[in-house]
Amino acid sequence: MTNPYAPPRAAVRDVTDPGAKAVLAERGTRLGAAMLDSFLFIAMVYLPIVVLGFMSAAASTGTRDTFDASFGLGLGLGVVGFVVWCTLTVRYVTRNGQSIGKKICGIKVVRRDGSPVSFARLFWLRNVVTWIISLVPMFGLVDSLFIFGESRQCLHDKIADTIVVVA
């Protein structure tokens, strides 16, 4: 039974003050967040595959079945790690524009006007479109070098009309 005198409950998102100027994240902090994201991904997805693969290769006495079973277990753990990583990343990004590394480093992605960024914008424009363009040789380097501009925006930020600010 609900209390008719209870105050109303509503999920409230953080509201940005339109007059407040966002503080851009430092380049080193962005690099640290990207490195943390990479290390976490490697640890959760690739590490189980590699470790169990090497352990099974070292422990196998020439039988292919032992190696296949251990490698299969490592591959299965890698898939589980990928699902967990994707779940956590989508949860953080949807909640407040932060990947796991950005959350640890205290920065987040917002629209250029300071409003929250949608998951679709982050996923499609910042990641998928950038990944497709990155098939062009040297794009990754050019994308990264854009951060040294006055706006501290990489090329993928310019494409998605986003900035990275202190959370």
Structure tokens at 133: 């363009």
Q: Quote the Cα angle for 79-37-47, to 5°.
A: 40
Does residue 8 surpass a pLDDT of 90? Answer: no
Q: Each residue of 12-45: pLDDT tens digit?
A: 665 555 556 789 999 999 999 999 999 999 999 9
- Which stretches within 2-128 are classed as H helix? 27-41, 47-59, 64-96, 100-105, 119-120
Three-state DSSP at 28 gives helix
Distance, CA of 157 to CA of 111 (rounded, Å): 9
Please give the model's pTM, rounded to 2 decimal places: 0.78
Cα–Cα distance measured from residue 62 to residue 56, given in angstroms and rounded to the nearest whole number? 10
